A and B are shown apart, each in its own frame.
Chain A
Amino acid sequence: EIVLTQSPGTLSLSPGERATLSCRASQSVSSSYLAWYQQKPGQAPRLLIYGASSRATGIPDRFSGSGSGTDFTLTISRLEPEDLAVYHCQQYGTSPLTFGGGTKVEIK
């Protein structure tokens, strides 16, 4: 099973700042089959990124994904107050499908 480790656990930034979230895999994620999801308080997750770097429909371009192999990054270029959420990464290249533990983004 591929274990995904997300860091930091919590990120506290001010509006307008850049957020960099990390997702590290215990072994290489085949074909960059990695997705990112945003989960706001009390809501279901929402797809942000798939294929490591492709934005889902309707996702603002301030969200971007990068990486390959075992190291992946989600970047929020300019934080907005509504970006308060937990962000989850997921690999879908190898069974079983696995998620990281999440990074909580707080807005100062």
Chain B
Amino acid sequence: EVQLVESGGGLVKAGGSLRLSCAASTFTLSTYNMNWVRQAPGKGLEWVSSISRSSSFIFYADTLKGRFTISRDNAKNSLYLQMDSLTAEDTAVYYCTRSPAGYCTSNSCQNWFDLWGQGTLVTVSS
């Protein structure tokens, strides 16, 4: 089955760090742009970050202020999100998402999301 499986979420204290992982199953990650999208409890969806196929282009939501780092290891068919200096406002379910046919320029990746993982919950205690 084609799927994305996230891991690494959990409870962390404000100011702490977490590293999320996303494993791709039965498809080759390297042929897709990849992204992280989050959803705070009872709230809407918020784009977090995107990375192009070869990691040439990387983009973040301005609200993250340089605290998060997206990366990928195509050899391991995996995507990552390093989250530092966490605050209570980062509490959310984090989804790994795949983007088909979207392309990237130096300004943006024009990505929509055709496959979503089940999500991993990150809870930041203050």
Contact = CB atoms under 8 A, between A and B. Distances in A.
Contacts of A102: 44-45
Contact count band on B? 20 to 34
Contact of A92 (B95, B102, B107, B118): B102
A93 interface: yes
Nearest to A93: B110
B72 to A, nearest CB: 18
A35 B113 contact: yes
Contact of B116 (A44, A57, A94): A44
Contacts of B44: 88, 99-102
Contacts of B47: 90, 96-99
Given A35-B112, A56-B114, A97-B50, A45 B45 contact: yes
B34 to A, nearest CB: 13
A41 B115 CA distance: 17
B112 A90 contact: yes
Contact of B45 (A33, A88, A96): A88
Contact of B62 (A35, A37, A96): A96
A72 interface: no
Name the 9 nearest CB pairs between A and B, nearest first.
A95-B108, A35-B112, A97-B47, A44-B116, A99-B45, A50-B112, A101-B44, A47-B114, A92-B110
24 contacts: A37-B45, A37-B113, A44-B118, A45-B116, A46-B116, A47-B114, A50-B112, A88-B45, A90-B45, A90-B112, A90-B113, A92-B102, A92-B110, A92-B111, A92-B112, A93-B110, A94-B108, A96-B47, A96-B62, A97-B50, A97-B111, A98-B47, A99-B47, A102-B44
